[in-house]
Structure formats: C-alpha cells, structure tokens
Amino acid sequence: MKAAGAVLWRDADGDVEVAVVHRQRYDDWSLPKGKLDKGETIPACVAREVEEETGYSCVLGRFLQQTSYKVKNDTKTVDYYAAEAVSGDFAANDEVDELRWLPVAAASSLLTYEHDRVVLAEFDRLPADLLLVLLVRHAKAGKRSEWDGDDDLRPLSGAGWKQASALRTLLPLWAPTRVHTAPRVRCADTVAGVAEDLAVGMVEEPHLSEEGYWPDPEAGLVRLLEVAAQEGRAVVSSQGGVIPSVVQALAELGGLRLSEIPCKKGSTWVLAFTRPFGTWSTSDSPSRWPTLVSAHYLASPLPRP
C-alpha cells in the first residue's frame, strides 16, 4: 500500500510552526497523509492530501524520508516531504476534525505515533526555508544513429514528449520561478512547457551541456551554485553526461553521502541547499557557498504503473 504525506509548515513571525491533525476515525494526532490515487505520482498525492485534510495549498520542499509499518496484513509505505503552507484555511471534514499549528517540540509531544515523530525530527534537522534546484535530465530523444542533422538539434521522440508533458505537471509542485537549459533542442523542449506556463524565458547554460561542462567542470559546478543562489527556485535541464558529475561534486562539497547517482531520461534530482549568509559571490571562500544538504531522485515524472 503506497501513501504520501508532509510536514506542513508555516512561518510565524520568524518561527516555524507545523500542522498536526486529529483524525476522528482513529482518535489520533498525526501528520497529514493519504493513499495514492490510481495514476497519481507521489508528489501530487502529497499536495492533494495536504489540501484535502488541512484546507491549505502547499509548495513542496525537500524529501524527508519513507516510513513503513504494518496495517492489518499489509505493509504501508509513506513518503514524506516538507511542504510550506501558502494559502487556505482549515475546516473540519470527514477525515480531520481539528488542526493545530505548533512549534516542532510541542507538535512532537502531541503526535500519537513514533514514526511521525521520526519524520518530524528529520524535518527539524535542517532549516525549513532552503534554496532548491530541480535538475532535470532531458526527456527521451530520437536515436542518434537515425538522426542525420546536427546532434544539438536532435528532437524529442514521442515518448519524450509524453515525459515533457508529465514534467509540466510535476515540477510546478515545487513552485519554480526560473527555467534554465543546456543549449540543446532536446533539453529546451523538455522544460519549454514549464517556462510557457510560468510566462518566463529560458536562460541558456552552456557550462551545463556536455560539450561545455567537461573542459572546465569547476565552472559548471560554480554556475549551478550561482543558479541555486538566485532569488526564486529554478528548473535546470541538462544532459546525462553532466548531471551525475555535478551531483557527486556537490554532495562531496556538502559532506552528503549518496550510494548511487542514477540519471534516467526525464528524471529529476530535487536538490536543496542552505542559504549563504549575507551577500554571496563566487569569489567568496567555498565555505560560504550554498551547501547541498538534500538530494532526492525522481526516476520518472510519470505515475507508477
């Protein structure tokens, strides 16, 4: 049984408060969560369940963790994200009859289940408001062997356009405001729909193409950090020969251990960074650069079968 939920948080005069809900059916206090609908992605389920149970629209943040526990004779797995409440109000409903906004320590004391307290502790381990980059590998393109033109112009295949359409639905759950792309048609077309919906132009990133990255990997890494540090969240569309190297280098700089760095076509790495203190530039010491603190891989924008 697959489910998804969130630590829903808000800023309360500079302090973080999180939402804890009371479910009358079970007479328990828990984090908002629920089962996936057929044909639904996990991130979409998070946003839907949060709104249904709490009345609040939310913007997703970093992935927190997955919990598993027995429900009767089945194993239930729940994927949790941090999620910021951006609008709405609570009203009692069929599932939840009370919601409380509490500081993390008070919320932890109120929660009924230990697995919820573990998720909340992971949320509290890092600042709630992190920089975020959605690093996308371009969707499936036609075979290179069957394309006679300039490889930079090789277009998406039918399957690739399906992935691009799904990304147009998935990526806005994190509320990006900027779209960057390696100067390849297949990279640009993968995220063009997102840019169109945001009514923004796409910024070309030569250092994040395979041809531009490998002569000077450090320049590509610095450029991604510059993109991360700008105001507003970013989508960055790049290539399979770049993304694993960038993610690995960022992880090593941040002391983050990643057992593997997959990079399927149409996949997304959700990268969360600490904010630099004060005004920041690449001339500063690397110790003051944004630091990667969370890296979560979404293998496909399409719902699981």
Which CATH number is 83's domain given? 3.90.79.10
The strands making up 202-204's β-sheet, listed across from edge to edge, are 202-204, 178-181, 234-238, 131-137, 268-273, 292-298
pLDDT above 70: residue 14: yes
Q: Is residue 258 part of a domain?
A: yes
Q: Give residue-wise pLDDT tens across range 34-54.
A: 999 999 999 999 999 999 999
Q: Specify the DSSP element, H or E, that contains 210.
A: helix 210-213
Q: Quick one: 54 and 36 in the same domain?
A: yes
Pure H helices in 81-184: 104-110, 114-124, 158-170
Is 149 in contact with 161 (CB distance < 8 Å)?
A: no
pLDDT at residue 62, as a whole number: 98
Number of folded domains that form the chain? 2
Percent of all residues in the chain with a pLDDT value above 70, rounded to a whole number: 95
pLDDT digits (tens, 9 = 90+) for 77-128: 999 999 999 999 999 999 999 999 999 999 999 999 999 999 999 999 999 9
**For residues 180 and 227, is the Cβ–Cβ distance under 8 A?**
yes
What confidence score (pLDDT) does residue 286 get? Answer: 66
Provide the Cα torsion 281, 286, 289, 290; round to 10°.
Answer: 150
In this prediction, residue 145 carries a pLDDT of: 67
pLDDT tens, residue by residue, 227-257: 999 989 999 999 999 999 999 999 999 999 9
The kind and range of the H/E element at 76 are: strand 74-88
Does residue 289 sit in helix, strand or coil? Answer: coil
**Res 178 pLDDT > 80:** yes
Looking at the structure, do residues 286 and 138 belong to the same domain, yes or no? yes
191 and 111 part of one domain = no
The per-residue pLDDT for range 183-225, each reduced to its tens digit, is 999 999 999 999 999 999 999 999 999 999 999 999 999 999 9
| 68 backbone dihedrals φ, ψ, rounded to 5° | -135, 140
Do 115 and 139 reside in the same domain of the chain?
A: no
Q: What is the pTM of this model?
A: 0.95
Which structural domain range is residue 275 located in?
131-298
Cα gap 7→129, rounded to integer Å: 13
* 144 and 252 inside one domain: yes
Please give the average per-residue pLDDT across 276-303, as a whole number.
Answer: 83
Are residues 264 and 204 both part of a single domain? yes
In a domain, 304, yes or no: no
Residue 30 is assigned to a structural domain of this protein: yes
Is residue 303 in some structural domain?
A: no
pLDDT at 288 over 80: no
Instruction: Establish if 79 belongs to a structural domain.
Output: yes
CA distance 279 to 112: 43
Burial status of residue 235 (CB atoms within 10 A of its CB: 0-12, 13-18, 19 or more):
buried
Of 76, 100, 124, the residue at which a domain comes to its end is 124
For residues 224 and 261, membership in a common domain is answered with yes
